[in-house]
């Protein structure tokens, strides 16, 4: 079945499921340039169980990315712990716990083998993302093996490096005269680049980068637009959770934040797939 035929089936199913009173309006919406992609997105969002997939990805981020960040802080030394804590937005109470753990842990405790095991365990996030992206692009899941391992590791390191670099560049460019460059342009470009590179790596290049650009563009746009609200909101929520419930409250707050982040990541990837495969003019331009 071609992409165009698959689009027709998805939209026809939505029209058939609509109440009789709404079918004329739904049919009119299908004929509009914006309505058809929106209906396809709504139909596929529910059929692919994006809410459940986002929860899985959020949990994997929590148990995969955070250990890599802590390992990075240990290997770099305790003097970099404040930078790591700022990146993930730790409140003051939890910063003290992290600092004590770093002071009592020597870099030799990890070693080459320990660092490798931490990275390999972090590939569970890559596998969860691979399943999600394969479902979004209707592809068979790539075979795992040694040839896949470097892609899995690379995607995890890319996500970690992206978070650290965005935060670091925000500090470096904070004194620039054009504030819009520091606050919006630089984070947008880096976030969109990571959002396009991760699925390309995990799907073994089976989806051309140009088809991944719409989803990456939307993700970067959403992240930059929500940044003035999400950052202080997360900081306040973390501090309040730490004051009331301690470290366990911080953990649950992070899970909720990561769920919203994963839902945004996968949701914009699905929206990008709908745009790239649409039979309209925009989809044709994306496909070249």
What pLDDT is recorded for position 173? 59
> What are 105-134's pLDDT values in tens digits?
555 555 666 677 777 788 889 999 999 999
**CB count, 10 Å around CB of 12?**
12
**Tokens 């049919």 appear where?**
27
Q: How many CA atoms are closer than 13 Å to the CA of 227, on its beta-carbon side? A: 18
Instruction: Specify the pLDDT at position 198.
Output: 94
φ/ψ (deg, to 5) at 136? -60, -45
Torsions phi, psi for 161 (to 5 deg): -60, -40
* Short-list 89, 99, 93, CA closest to 242: 93
Domain residue spans of the chain: 50-287
Higher pLDDT, 14 or 285: 285
272 closest CA partner among 214, 222, 200:
214
Mean predicted lDDT score pLDDT of the chain: 77
Q: What is the mean pLDDT of residues 146-169?
A: 80
pLDDT band at 251 (very low <50, low <70, confident <90, very high): confident
Higher pLDDT, 110 or 287: 287
pLDDT of residue 52: 94
Neighbours of 266 (CB within 10 A): 25
Given a contact cutoff of 8 angstroms between Cβ atoms, the answer to whether 8 and 95 are in contact is no
pLDDT, average across residues 24-45: 73
> Is pLDDT at 263 greater than 90 in this prediction?
yes
Residues 223, 260 contacting (CB under 8 angstroms): no
**45-101 pLDDT per residue, tens:** 988 899 999 999 999 988 887 777 777 766 666 555 566 666 655 555 555 555 555
Residue 212 CA, chain-centre distance (Å), reads 13
> What's the token pair of residue 33?
């340039």
- What average pLDDT does range 34-46 have in this prediction? 81
Residue predicted with more confidence, 193 or 245: 193
């Amino acid at each position: 079945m071609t992409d165009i035929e698959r689009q027709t089936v998805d939209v026809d199913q939505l029209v058939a499921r609509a109440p009789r009173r709404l079918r004329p309006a739904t049919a009119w919406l299908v004929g509009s340039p914006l309505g058809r992609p929106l209906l396809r997105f709504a139909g596929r969002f529910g059929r692919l169980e994006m809410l459940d997939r986002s929860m899985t990805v959020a949990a994997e981020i929590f148990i995969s990315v955070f250990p890599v960040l802590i390992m990075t802080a240990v290997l770099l030394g305790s003097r970099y712990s404040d930078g790591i804590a700022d990146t993930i937005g730790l409140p003051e109470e939890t910063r003290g716990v992290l600092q004590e753990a770093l002071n009592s842990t020597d870099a030799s405790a990890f070693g080459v083998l320990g660092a490798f095991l931490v990275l390999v365990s972090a590939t569970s996030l890559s596998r969860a993302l691979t399943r999600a992206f394969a479902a979004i692009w209707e592809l068979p899941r790539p075979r795992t093996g040694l040839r896949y391992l470097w892609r899995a590791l690379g995607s995890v390191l890319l996500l970690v490096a992206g978070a650290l670099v965005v935060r670091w560049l925000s500090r470096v460019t904070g004194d620039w005269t054009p504030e819009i460059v520091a606050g919006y342009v630089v984070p947008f470009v880096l976030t969109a680049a990571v959002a396009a590179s991760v699925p390309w790596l995990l799907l073994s290049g089976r989806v051309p980068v140009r088809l991944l650009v719409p989803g990456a563009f939307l993700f970067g746009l959403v992240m930059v637009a929500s940044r003035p609200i999400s950052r202080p909101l997360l900081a306040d929520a973390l501090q309040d959770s730490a004051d009331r419930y301690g470290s366990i409250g911080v953990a649950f707050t992070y899970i909720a934040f990561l769920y919203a982040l994963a839902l945004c990541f996968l949701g914009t990837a699905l929206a990008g797939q709908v745009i790239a495969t649409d039979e309209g003019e925009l989809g044709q331009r994306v496909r070249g």
